[in-house]
Amino acid sequence: MSKYYEDREAADAAAREHSLLARLPDALKRARERAPAIAQQLQGVEPDVIRSRADLVQIPVIRKSELLQAQLAMRQGQAGQELSPTSRVFGGFSAIGWGEAARVFASPGPIYEPESRRPDYWGFARSLYAAGFRSGELVYNCFSYHFTPAGSMMETAAHALGCTVFPGGVGQTEQQVQAIADLAPAGYTGTPSFLKIILEKADELGVALPSIKRALFSGEAFPPSLCKWFAERGIDGYQAYGSADLGMMAYETSARDGLVVNEDIILEIVRPGTSQPAKDGEVGEVVVTTLNPDYPLVRFGTGDLSMLMLGSSPCGRSNVRIKGWMGRADQTTKVRGMFVHPAQVASVLKRHPEIGKARLVISGKVGNDLMTLQAELAQHDPEVLARVAASVRELTKLRADIEPVAPDSLPNDGKVIDDIRSYE
């Protein structure tokens, strides 16, 4: 039996990159033809010239908040044009409509997402395989089957592997214990916290549940302490990173060394609030271009922070890896009644290339806010500091002190705005 779901997981890294990027121009052309919002995003961009990661910078990043606003505007009739039913619902981002889509889901917002009839539409089969799931097993799925796509994500992936699925869903803990005892599933999919609740309820009821040997978790953090807790019960747990917009983006393997990126997406790390790639090893926002022909999101900003890891995974998979979820990139806050955004800090940096990196620190107490821009500068020229202060005031409409700091001294944690005010 193969060590990998697909042999290409261990392919030569340069060959994989060439193959992935060679598919990109045609994918962009299809998206432009069938998804009006993507056509607007690609205005002025010729798909045939997008053949490298560096070329992607020509395309603006679309963030989740913008997708929501586009959907809301079309549903509320603000688009000022005749719309198909699915353009009205999906904001022009979907390339498929009713009939072509097998299901439609809703995430908070609400943001509506289509699911097509392609096998393993969400791409989680690869992560299930890496977690030890195999054909002919029963998978106990405790993700919700209502509104959001999490339940379908794991079910369609398990079916692609040749597994049978029990749709456990969430809640009803005692019934979950009984069903697991009766069915003896080999594996569990769901959040780690819910499996822990089920197992603790089984202990309370005096019911043994020895059949579950593996689990694929998503939807919440899976720290080493919890991994150890499950291992002590004979359960090998792994995590997968995904979203309702993009499906599976990255997954854990037996190496336990970062998350391997999905084979069918182009994942970038950009500086928060910008469309510009972060430096190697720098924490930034996860931005994904998916080659999904049905829901072709291009340079989609997830709002999540992570960083790229160098080298191949010790498990033999050669694709790029990310550190995992490291927080949220949307650090927007309100200072003296005005919203301050990461993009404004990015604009300051653009005006002043002599600054290596910057962090806007908000301190004091509510009602007495203090704003300080910590700026990495090789030289502390008072005239430069004055010009930077003027730029901050012009761009944010707020005064800020400028604190010069040594190059490469700011933490590599992706923070652009650090709100340390006291709210007591």
* Predicted pLDDT of residue 367: 57
Domains delineated in the chain: 333-419 (3.30.300.30)
* Predicted pLDDT of residue 325: 86
Report d(CA 387, CA 154) in Å as an integer.
Answer: 53
* Predicted pLDDT of residue 266: 97
* Predicted pLDDT of residue 415: 87
Q: Are 195 and 299 in contact (CB under 8 A)?
A: no
Report d(CA 245, CA 37) in Å as an integer.
Answer: 15
Residue for token digits 């060439």?
18
* Predicted pLDDT of residue 184: 98
How far does Cα 250 stand from its chain's mean position? Answer: 9
How far does Cα 310 stand from its chain's mean position? Answer: 19
Q: Are 164 and 172 in contact (CB under 8 A)?
A: no
User: The tokens of 386 are what?
Assistant: 């004055």
User: The tokens of 422 are what?
Assistant: 């006291």
Q: Are 42 and 28 in contact (CB under 8 A)?
A: yes
Report d(CA 17, CA 68) in Å as an integer.
Answer: 31
> What residue ranges of the chain have pLDDT lower than 50?
none
* Predicted pLDDT of residue 424: 54
Residues near 173 by beta carbon (within 8 Å), at least 6 away in sequence: 197, 198, 201
**Amino acid at residue number 350:** K
Report d(CA 58, CA 61) in Å as an integer.
Answer: 9
State pTM to two decimals.
0.84
